[in-house]
Chain A
Amino acid sequence: DVKVTQSSRYLVKRTGEKVFLECVQDMDHENMFWYRQDPGLGLRLIYFSYDVKMKEKGDIPEGYSVSREKKERFSLILESASTNQTSMYLCASSLLAHHGTDTQYFGPGTRLTVL
């Protein structure tokens, strides 16, 4: 079974703090993704990566950065957290780079609250 894990289920941070969300997958997948999910807005893609050290902006990259130093690990960084970044953050992975047909496997999510 594919397993995607995220470092925290719940996180509470203060405005202006630097926040790191970690995601690890154990199936040697090439693609990794970060989404946020908000009521009424659905899932929106923040960033994705198709290879180590490669990254591409998704639909809402502003205020976020990412890091992929190892194939299995994809980190989302909020350089200076703001209240409008309070959300559920979901990491996903899929098998092959440049393949749109592959299933995306999601982690359990991190509910981030910024006070």
Chain B
Amino acid sequence: RKEVEQDPGPFNVPEGATVAFNCTYSNSASQSFFWYRQDCRKEPKLLMSVYSSGNEDGRFTAQLNRASQYISLLIRDSKLSDSATYLCVVNGGSNYKLTFGKGTLLTVNP
């Protein structure tokens, strides 16, 4: 299993749609989990951290299932401005290195 594996995408959805991204990780000792967002020709930026209890930030909900080593990101009521690549990111467990998934491209269409 690859260290961090994401849906390959791309996803094309209409405005207002709900879209879900999935991610699996291989290192069971991983302790920290994140979703980063990368706009076209820009640098990645933290979207949200992912906690065991699940967490929500407006239209965005992140979930973590440690038993299945699975992370998800749900975007409700998609906006045109949500168009970007979404990166699943996992801390290696014993150090402060982050491992990035390859990303999933989302395009929200009018």
Contact = CB atoms under 8 A, between A and B. Distances in A.
Q: Is the interface of A mostly helix, strand, loop or mixed?
A: loop
B42 A104 contact: no
Contacts of B96: 31, 48, 50, 94, 97-100, 102
A62 to B, nearest CB: 17
Interface in B34-84: 34, 42-46, 49
B17 interface: no
Interface residues of B, number: 22
A101 B98 contact: no
Contacts of B101: 42
A44 B32 CA distance: 18
A43 B42 CA distance: 13
Contact of B43 (A40, A41, A102, A107): A107
B54 to A, nearest CB: 17
Interface in A76-115: 90, 94, 97-104, 106-109
B97 A58 contact: yes
B23 interface: no
Nearest to A38: B102
B102 A42 contact: yes
Nearest to A91: B43
The residue among A41, A43, A106 with the most chain B CB atoms within 10 A of its own CB is A43
Contacts of A48: 96-97
A99 B43 CA distance: 22
Interface string A38-55: 001111110010100000
Interface of A: 31, 35, 40-45, 48, 50, 58, 90, 94, 97-104, 106-109
